[in-house]
């Protein structure tokens, strides 16, 4: 990937109440990160929303486990055009709403967002979702086996990041 060009990433977050599962989000970086997430207010009956979040330092979020770079924005795409496109093309259903297809959650929304952005040419280099998800889960599990989030971890504190285009691993 060309250095310092906006790129599409999938982020996996820890779900402390649901070990072994992950919350999925998409980021557009390096300047801004975007996230699809559930707004928690006590109980699980809370609304979903598309949220624009500027993350100045990813290493301060203890739930952010890994980031996987999966493509770069096409020359004609901007961060703002991607945001508008996602809001327009991918509905966000609220709990209890009837919608076509299977259950709606962060995984299904992220999958659809990645597929549509790749299919419609807004992001270049996007592969198949099943491969992206498998690589992301394998990456986070590898980091877990290394003891990355264990008490007493002496290694790098920043977020492990993997670029699928070249297999390069770094921290952000």
pLDDT band, very low/low/confident/very high, at 100 (cuts 50, 70, 90): low
150 located within any domain: yes
Q: Which domain holds residue 123?
A: 7-171
- Residue 162 lies inside a defined structural domain of this protein: yes
pLDDT mean across residues, the chain: 81
Q: List own/partner pairs for 117-122 with CB under 8 A and 24 or more apart.
A: 117/8, 117/71, 117/82, 117/85, 117/86, 118/71, 120/85, 121/74, 122/73, 122/74, 122/77, 122/81, 122/82, 122/85
pLDDT for 41 beyond 50: no
Whether 1 is covered by a domain: the verdict is no
| The residue to which tokens 């991918």 are assigned | 90
Q: Quick check: 10 pLDDT over 70?
A: yes
- Contact between residue 69 and residue 8 where contact means Cβ atoms under 8 Å apart: yes
In a domain, 2, yes or no: no
Q: Within a domain: residue 65?
A: yes
Whether residue 138 lies inside any domain: the answer is: yes
Check whether the bond before 30 is cis (ω within 30° of 0): yes
Whether residue 149 has pLDDT greater than 80: yes
Percent of the chain with pLDDT over 70: 78
**Count of structural domains, the chain:** 1
Averaged pLDDT for residues 139-152: 94
Mean predicted confidence (pLDDT) in 127-152: 95
In a domain, 103, yes or no: yes
């Amino acid at each position: 990937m060309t250095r310092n060009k906006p790129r599409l990433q999938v982020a996996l977050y820890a779900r402390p109440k649901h070990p072994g599962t992950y919350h999925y989000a998409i980021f557009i970086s390096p300047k801004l990160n975007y996230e699809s997430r559930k707004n928690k207010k006590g109980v699980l009956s809370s609304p979903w929303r598309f949220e624009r979040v500027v993350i100045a330092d990813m290493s301060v979020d203890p739930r952010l486990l890994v980031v996987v770079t999966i493509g770069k924005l096409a020359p004609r795409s901007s961060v703002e055009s991607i945001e508008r496109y996602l809001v327009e093309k991918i509905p966000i259903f609220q709990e209890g709403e009837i919608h076509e297809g299977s259950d709606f959650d962060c995984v299904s929304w992220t999958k659809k967002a990645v597929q549509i952005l790749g299919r419609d040419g807004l992001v270049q280099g996007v592969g198949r979702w099943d491969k992206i998800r498998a690589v992301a889960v394998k990456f986070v599990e590898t980091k877990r086996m290394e003891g990355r989030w264990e008490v007493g971890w002496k290694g790098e504190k920043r977020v492990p990041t993997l670029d699928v285009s070249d297999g390069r691993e770094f921290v952000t």
